[in-house]
Chains A and B, each alone.
Chain A
Amino acid sequence: MAEPILKVNSVTKCFGGLTAVDDVSFNVAKGEIVGLIGPNGAGKTTLFNVISGYYAPTKGNVIFEGNDISGKPPYHLAGVGIGRTFQVVKPFAGLTVLENVTIASFLKHPKKADAVRHAWQVLETTGLADRANVSAAGLTLAGRKRLEISKALALEPSFLLLDEVVAGLNPTEADRTVELIMKLKAQGLTILIVEHIMRVIMNISDRLVVLNFGKKIAEGTPSEVSSDPHVVQAYFGEEAA
């Protein structure tokens, strides 16, 4: 395996008495797509929020490109190359699609004209260029999910966290998004993705990390994981295992 770009070391996150993420460790190698799966409430989004700086871990740490980033604010992490999307999409509803992406482009292109030019390029890539002048509030769910990806890409990240960018899309839209993710991988982007749709996650991931009740219960290639008794039990119950 290539050198890890991201190391999650024994991360625990508690909210009061609830342990949402419990002593989870795994690595992500450069250029890899790692899928993070688990039943509802397993702690996937909480772990995402710890990695992207929205929560500080209660215990453990997160190392990105050799630096401890645990507890650093999200805007700092965007600066070091971590882009993320939100499961509950966060468009700037009162602004146009182009303006939304331009704001993200400011990170690497401080001049407005350069940022706008770069935003256009991103929208061409993600297939939203036709909707550039539409208010973000006027996009369909599929459009808003693409906007999330566009904004994250406009940061020109080296590591991308995708939180359920396929869920809720129809099969055609889902295929287009998968195609886009594969293109990004081909460019050398490292991706950590949370997704519920097994057809998608099994196909695109190099490796999977499975969470249940905040704990890591399995890790490995999609075929290894899908035959793991712990995973089968978590998804289908005691008897199936």
Chain B
Amino acid sequence: MKNRGATVLAILVAALLILPLVVHDTFVLRVLTEGVMWIGLAIAFDVIAGYTGYLNFGHGAFFGIGAYTIGILMMQANLPFWAALPLGGVAAAVVALIAGIPTLRLKGAYFAIATWALSRAIQQLALNVEFTGGPDGMRLDAFLNPQFFYYLMLITVGGTFAILWYLLERAPFGLKLKAIREDEEGAKALGLNPTKLKMQSFILSALPTGILGGIYAYWITFIDPSSTLGDLVSDQAVVMVVFGGMGTLFGPALGAILIFAFKTLFWAYLSDFQLLYLIILGALIAISVIFIPNGLWGTMFKRKADAARPQHQTEPASEPAALSAVAAPEEGN
């Protein structure tokens, strides 16, 4: 089962790497590039929302901050793209740090409302200050190479996925975040510092999102407050993750692929009914929450295979040995 999963993943990665050599249609490549980007946005959102249990309705703000940071650094400070790109991630991470101090004290709906309001405030700021170009947006020097952007997006998202998978599914960090999600007070008694863990999670979520925003800005060459800082980025990320399966990484990736494919087809064939798209998104959230609370991935694949019990300890006779390993005996009184 596990090997089959690895094989499927290997084939998928190989196919994605070869694709631009086979497909020369720039429209198709463009759609694929954006699809890959959405996988990245969804898995980054999943860190704070799925693993840590803090539904961030301002995820789009990190994307927009990354995009604007790259735009401003390249156009006004004349920095080369490669120097500006990491700073886009850093800018998003710094905003997460500052925004996290007050908002991460809130829980549930209050955190969702606070982050949504904060992202609206950032959008208003971008509309009203000079250096962002206000409502007219900002134009970047065009670098027209679809293959370059496809591969850059693929490497960034692939790398993000690998790092997140290691941290959240292999290292202790993921389980610690889940402990915070399940019971913050109880986690404290076990030596976990919730404030620190939530902050790390929020920054880990913001950093790749800012970088993706930066790549997007350079790729699309035009950014404005509604396309990069609007509600749609956050809303779509929420739907992808909730529909795909919160706290699983693979689920949000699957959700991103399905929702983005749907969006592309909808735009291509039913663009006269744009309003309907948002209504469908809203309905999909409601349906997911009610009928598949664990999302597609969580419903398709039950929890991971049972952890094997170490053989040598199954006999009750060995209990005293196990006991002495639990708590090192201190000298009696």
Q: Which residues of B contact A106 (CB under 8 A)?
A: 172, 175-176, 190-191
Indicate if the CB atoms of B322 and A188 lie closer than 8 Å: no
Query: A156 touching B326 by the CB < 8 A rule?
Result: yes
> Is B309 within 8 A of A129, CB to CB?
yes
Contact of B189 among A30, A78, A99 (CB under 8 A): A78
User: Quick check: B328 and A156 within 8 Å, CB to CB?
Assistant: yes
CB proximity to B under 8 Å, residues A61-86: 73-75, 78-79, 83-84, 86
Cα A224 to Cα B229 with chains together (Å): 71
How far is the CB of B251 from the nearest CB of chain A, in Å?
15
Roughly how many angstroms separate A31 CA and B185 CA in the complex, as a whole number? Answer: 28
Q: How far is the CA of A93 from the CA of B182 in the complex (A)?
A: 7
- Does A184 touch B at the CB level, under 8 Å? yes
Q: Does the CB pair A121–B307 fall under 8 Å?
A: no
Contacts of B175 in A (CB 8 A): 95, 99, 102-103, 106, 112
Encode B96-122 as 1/0 by CB contact (under 8 A) with A.
000000000000000000000000000
A92 touches B183 (CB 8 A): yes
The answer on a CB contact under 8 Å between B190 and A78 is: yes
A153 within 8 A of B: yes
Q: How close is B315's CB to chain A, nearest CB, in angstroms?
A: 9
Q: Within the complex, which residue of B172, B178, B322 is in contact with A125, where a contact is CB–CB below 8 Å?
A: B322
Cβ of A110: which chain B residues have Cβ within 8 Å of it? Answer: 172
CB pair B310–A189 under 8 Å, yes or no, is no
CB proximity of A118 to chain B, nearest CB, Å: 8
A90's partner among B185, B191, B326 (CB-CB below 8 A) is B185
Residue contact B188 to A92, C-beta cutoff 8 Å: no
Nearest CB on A from B309, distance (A): 6
B306 touches A133 (CB 8 A): yes
Instruction: Determine whether B4 belongs to the interface, using a CB cutoff of 8 Å to chain A.
Output: no
State whether B327 touches A157 (Cβ < 8 A).
Answer: yes
User: Do residues A187 and B309 form an inter-chain contact, with CB atoms below 8 A?
Assistant: no
* Whole-angstrom CA separation of A133 from B309 in the bound complex: 9
| B246 CB → nearest A CB, Å | 10
CA distance A31 to B322 in the complex (A): 20
Cβ of A94 and Cβ of B182 under 8 Å apart?
yes
Question: CA A79 – CA B192 in complex, angstroms?
Answer: 9
A200 at the A/B interface (Cβ < 8 Å)?
no
Cα A187 to Cα B310 with chains together (Å): 24
**Complex: A83 Cα to B189 Cα, angstroms:** 7
For the complex, what is the distance from the CA of A135 to the CA of B182, rounded to whole Å? 12
0 or 1 for each of A177-221: is its CB under 8 Å from B? (1 = yes) = 000000110011100000000000000000000000000000000
Q: Does A6 contact B (CB under 8 A)?
A: no
Asked if A98 and B178 sit within 8 Å, CB to CB, the answer is no
The interface size of chain A toward B, counting residues with CB under 8 Å, comes to 60
**Which of A54, A154, A183 is close to B323, meaning CB atoms less than 8 Å apart?**
A183
A240–chain B nearest beta-carbon distance, Å: 36
Q: Report A-chain residues with C-beta under 8 Å of the C-beta of B183.
A: 90-93
Q: Does B193 contact A (CB under 8 A)?
A: yes
Task: For B182, list chain A residues within 8 Å (CB).
Answer: 91-95
Docked Cα-Cα span, A93 to B185, in Å, equals: 13
Tell me which residues across on chain A come within 8 A of B181, comparing CB atoms. Answer: 94
Determine which residue in A52, A79, A86, A106 has the highest number of CB atoms from chain B within 10 A of its CB, and name it.
A106
Of listed B183, B319, B325, residue having the most chain A CB within 10 A: B183
| A155 CB contact (under 8 Å) in B185, B190, B306, B324 | B190
Bits for B294-324, please: 1 = Cβ < 8 Å to A, else 0.
Answer: 0000000001001101100110001100111
- B179 CB contacts on chain A under 8 angstroms: 92, 95, 103
Residue among B186, B307, B313, B329 facing the most chain A CB atoms (10 A cut-off):
B186
Contact B172 A187 (CB under 8 A): no
Question: Of B171, B309, B313, B323, which is within 8 A of A112 by CB?
Answer: B171
In residues 158-206 of chain B, which contact A (Cβ within 8 Å)? 170-172, 175-176, 178-179, 181-183, 185-193
Per-residue interface assignment for chain A, residues 128 to 139, with 1 indicating a CB less than 8 Å from any chain B CB and 0 otherwise: 010011010000
| Docked pose: A79 CA to B182 CA in angstroms | 21
Contact of A115 among B172, B192, B329 (CB under 8 A): B172
Instruction: A75 to B226: give the CA distance in the assembly, Å.
Output: 43
Task: List, in ascending order, chain B residues with CB within 8 A of A118's CB.
Answer: 325-326
The answer, yes or no, to whether B76 is at the interface (CB within 8 Å) is: no
A104 to B181 Cα, complex, angstroms:
15
- 8 Å CB contact of B326 from A94, A125, A129: A125
A30 touches B192 (CB 8 A): no
Instruction: Answer whether residue A10 sits at the interface, using C-beta atoms and an 8 A cutoff.
Output: no
List, sorted by A's number, 14 A–B pairs whose CB atoms are closer than 8 Å. A73-B193, A75-B191, A78-B188, A90-B185, A90-B189, A92-B178, A92-B186, A104-B191, A124-B313, A124-B318, A125-B326, A132-B309, A154-B326, A188-B327
Q: Measuring CB to CB, which residues of chain A are less than 8 angstroms from any residue of chain B?
A: 1-2, 29-32, 52-54, 73-75, 78-79, 83-84, 86, 90-96, 98-99, 102-104, 106-107, 110-112, 115-118, 120-122, 124-125, 129, 132-133, 135, 151-158, 183-184, 187-189
What are the nearest 8 A-B pairs in CB distance? Answer: A90-B186, A2-B333, A78-B191, A92-B182, A188-B330, A107-B191, A31-B333, A74-B188
Beyond contacts A75-B191, A129-B313: 14 other A-B pairs, Cβ-Cβ < 8 A, are: A32-B333, A53-B188, A73-B193, A78-B191, A95-B175, A95-B182, A118-B326, A120-B309, A124-B318, A129-B309, A133-B307, A183-B323, A187-B323, A187-B330
